[in-house]
Chains A and B, each alone.
Chain A
Amino acid sequence: MKITRMTTAVSVGLATMLLASGCSSSSGGGDGDVRLQMVESLTNPTRTALLKELLADFETENPGVTVELISPPTDQADQKIQQMLQAGNGIDVLEVRDITVGPFSANGWISDMTEVLDGWEGWEDMTANAVDYATNDDGQTYYIPYGFYGLSVFYRTDLVEAAGFDGPPETWAEMLEQATAIQESGDGNYGYAFRGGTNGNGNLATAIEAYVADDIDTSNGFKLTDGSSIFSAPEAQDAADMYFELFAKASPPSSVAWGYPEMVEGFSNGSTAFLLQDPEVISAIGSSTAITEDQWDTAPLVKGPTGKAVQAVATSGWGTAESSEHKEEAAELIKFLSSGDASTRFTKENSLVPILTSAAEDEFYSTGAWASYVTMTENPDTYISVIQPRSVEWWTEWTQKADSEVQRVLVGDMTSEELLASWDEYWMEKWAE
């Protein structure tokens, strides 16, 4: 009967299609070959391309091992990594961030690499800071940082000069003054690339920390030495007033919603004069077509009335999944990425503060935009390095809450007093638990 033939034909056709679509994803390998799956989190196209090159080098050095890089969209990356780790499948090496290491290790998702890394000579080439961050309070190593992020001021030399200033701002008060002058000069430029969107709380915390720098607990950047929170200090109110004035007088109104991409864009397209950012953006701004190299420079982080600035270092690195069946090869890969040329290239091309002492001595890091980082490392008493409680399991909850409240102050739903009281209450409660 004609109809049965037709149905058969259709179903056979469909079955073939289904099979065809399924077959290519069967896992490869065989012959004792090891295939590692590696997932990155802070994905961007240039970095992904670089990582792929480094992985290719690793594969040449280690015949029999292939690495597959998975690059989820940054927006969903950490959530996706969580899902993969929870499922206990498909992940060997992963990007572990200072904000994810706490939860991931608490859940037993990532493995302590102390043993596999025991006796590894790579440790000796690393900066004290890197070794420090690689080892947690209990002496375990869940990840090895690939580099560090720290803030510096990016500024437009031409605009600062045109507004009649001799050099970049050194304090928050000068930042407010210069940014206001530039914005009010009437040539259509904005002063400060304000961060009102995602992670907008971070820069406010940085400002507050600078204002309370004399009393800050360096092992917990949100605490004062007397055990109270930095948000309860009277100086915190001064810092907040200054900071929100910076928004009102000297920032583009649309920056209420600016996150990382918009801030960087706002600076590199030439419309704003100041940007507080990680070294990571040096390369991004360097490739800008709107402003040339002699139009911008960096300066050390701005200080508070204390004459000091507080640098809360952020970091991210590589770790292995507990569920991985190839922990040894995974560790080899991490060693590879954390030493020698691979590490140097990675930090250089992504403009990160390096983890290797050799790279730190490199001339590259003492010239141009990097010079201000050298100034900061050489003056640890002025640029105090503190550890923020970024690895607590409620960190993402905190940033969501804090971001939302910063925005509420910006749009007038909340006062800065209420915000500080709320932040103080939040942390005191958490610490009391």
Chain B
Amino acid sequence: MSVGDTRIAPAAGPGGAGASAPPPRPVGGGRSGGPGGTLGSSQRRIFTVRKGLGLLAFMAPALIFVAVFIYYPLFAGGQMAFRNYNLNNLTDTSWVGLGNFRDILADPVFYTVLRNSVVWVVASLVPQFVIGFALALWLRRRFRFRGVYQALVFFPWAISGFLIGILFRWMFNSEFGVINDLLAKTGLIDQPINWLADPATAMVAVLIANIWYGVTFFAIMILAALQSVPDEMLEAAALDGAGRARTLFSIVIPYISVTLALTVLLRVIWIFNFPDIIYGMTGGGPADRTHIVTTWMIQTTQRGDYGRASALGLIVIAVLLVFTVFYLLAMREKGSKTR
């Protein structure tokens, strides 16, 4: 299946405007009531050579860039996964088949790292989503200085992950860190917490940093989606006497569910692949407690073992691909049921 087909359009839209469109052509439009007529006209355009060339000309720049600078290095790097490719000794780079993968699977640290990755994704994502949703919901209503507020509260997204890591490493410093100081001042603790050195708290600390960073993306996306919900629908719900909570769950959420689902998918992929904060804060320590697959991969490249690192990279891609396929299938399933 291809991702291209998956824009199951407004399964969301209770109006069901898109429902009649034939499946192969993804139905445009997040808004229900997107004029159905426009869908058909482009759908069966006659395919001529001239048009084909035209399309190619339009696509060419994107394709060339992506092929040359992303896929070529990916394949060149990917083949190292099947070789004994160690920068510390390149005199023998023979093919070793699945040897690197076997080594990884035999390493107990791999399973720790995998578990950490799942914790990292889930425990970052859920709070990011919940806080982001709340923020969006409450920002939807106009209030004075909303523009200013929005600008201030969205800024974490504009900082680099590595810098955030460094910043939080500084704040979580057990002797001179401001977080311990504040906790001590408010009487919550009487002994400084060794945030980044204690196996029990290191993951919590990196998660806090990541949540702080990631709420913005959800808030922006969800706010945008919420603003696309037509007011008439909400008014109608209000007339029906539906309560606020009910309106939210039976009208608003279904309406924007596609956006929500795809935003979540994108974030899962990004967070899984996001070593920057951990790299800056703990480097994976203490005792591998905060190592996720991608930070572990960085460490592996640092000792020159490119074969093993590439194998890890391919595992990352495979895991995410499988996840995406299942996720999209589940989404489609749910979509067709709602319909």
Binding site for B on A (CB under 8 A): 78-79, 82, 86, 102-103, 106-107, 196-198, 252-258, 269, 271, 393-394, 396-397, 400, 404, 407-408, 410-411, 413
Contacts and interface: CB of A to CB of B under 8 A. Distances in A.
The 3 closest A-B pairs by CB, nearest first: A103-B88, A256-B197, A396-B303
B174 A408 contact: no
A39 to B, nearest CB: 16
Contact of A79 (B86, B283, B286, B302): B302
A28 to B, nearest CB: 27
Which residue, A86, A410, A411, A413, has most C-beta atoms of chain B within 10 A? A411
Contacts of B174: 252-254
Contact of B283 (A107, A198, A397): A198
Which residue, B87, B173, B288, has most C-beta atoms of chain A within 10 A? B87
A396 B299 CA distance: 10
A79 B301 contact: yes
A394 B88 CA distance: 7
B303 A271 contact: no
Contact of B89 (A107, A400, A407, A410): A107
A400 B303 contact: yes
Given A79-B301, A255-B197, A256-B197, A393 B287 contact: no
Interface in B262-288: 282-283, 285-288
B48 interface: no
A408 B304 contact: no
A103 B88 CA distance: 4
Interface in B136-172: none
A257 B88 contact: no
A191 B87 CA distance: 40
> Chain B interface mostly helix, strand, loop or mixed?
loop
B302 A410 contact: no
A404 B295 CA distance: 14
A78 B304 CA distance: 10
Given A253-B174, A253-B194, A106 B303 contact: no
B235 interface: no
Contact of B282 (A106, A257, A397): A257
B90 interface: yes
Contacts of B181: none
A82 B87 contact: yes
Contact of B286 (A86, A107, A397, A410): A410
B28 interface: no
Given A82-B87, A106-B89, A254-B174, A407 B287 contact: yes
B168 to A, nearest CB: 14
Contact of B88 (A198, A256, A393): A393
A308 B144 CA distance: 75
Contacts, number: 84
A253 B303 contact: no
Contact of A396 (B88, B90, B197, B198): B88
28 contacts: A78-B302, A79-B302, A82-B87, A86-B87, A102-B88, A103-B88, A106-B88, A107-B91, A196-B197, A253-B174, A253-B197, A255-B197, A256-B197, A258-B197, A269-B176, A271-B175, A393-B86, A394-B88, A396-B88, A396-B304, A397-B305, A400-B302, A404-B287, A404-B288, A407-B285, A407-B288, A411-B286, A413-B199
Nearest to A262: B173
B225 interface: no
Given A254-B175, A256-B197, A400-B303, 15 more contacts: A82-B87, A103-B87, A106-B89, A106-B91, A253-B174, A254-B173, A254-B197, A256-B194, A256-B285, A257-B282, A397-B303, A397-B305, A404-B109, A408-B288, A410-B287
Contacts of B90: 86, 106-107
B286 A257 contact: yes
A254 B199 CA distance: 11
Contacts of A254: 173-175, 194, 196-197
A252 B198 CA distance: 12
B179 to A, nearest CB: 13
B91 A411 contact: no
A18 to B, nearest CB: 13
Contacts of A82: 87, 304
A142 B173 CA distance: 42
Contacts of A197: 283, 285
Nearest to B109: A404
Contacts of A413: 199, 287
Contacts of B303: 396-397, 400
A402 to B, nearest CB: 12
Nearest to B288: A404
B304 A103 contact: yes
A269 B198 CA distance: 22
A183 B304 CA distance: 40
Contacts of B301: 79
Given A79-B301, A196-B197, A400-B303, A256 B286 contact: yes
A107 B109 CA distance: 30
B88 A407 contact: no
Nearest to B90: A107
A86 B301 CA distance: 14
Contacts of B282: 257
Contacts of B109: 404
Contacts of A86: 87, 90
A407 B198 CA distance: 11
A254 B304 CA distance: 29
Contacts of B197: 196, 253-258
B285 to A, nearest CB: 5
A197 B174 CA distance: 15
A407 B89 CA distance: 28
B199 A411 contact: yes
Which residue, B91, B197, B302, B304, has most C-beta atoms of chain A within 10 A? B197
Contacts of B283: 197-198
Contacts of A255: 197
Given A79-B301, A86-B87, A196 B198 contact: no
Interface in B177-220: 194, 196-199
Interface string B88-101: 11110000000000
A408 B283 CA distance: 15
Interface in B75-108: 86-91
A339 B44 CA distance: 79
Contacts of A396: 88, 302-304
Nearest to A398: B303
Given A103-B87, A252-B175, A255-B197, A196 B302 contact: no
A109 to B, nearest CB: 9
A60 B91 CA distance: 41
A281 B197 CA distance: 24
Nearest to B279: A75
Contacts of A271: 175
Contacts of A252: 174-175
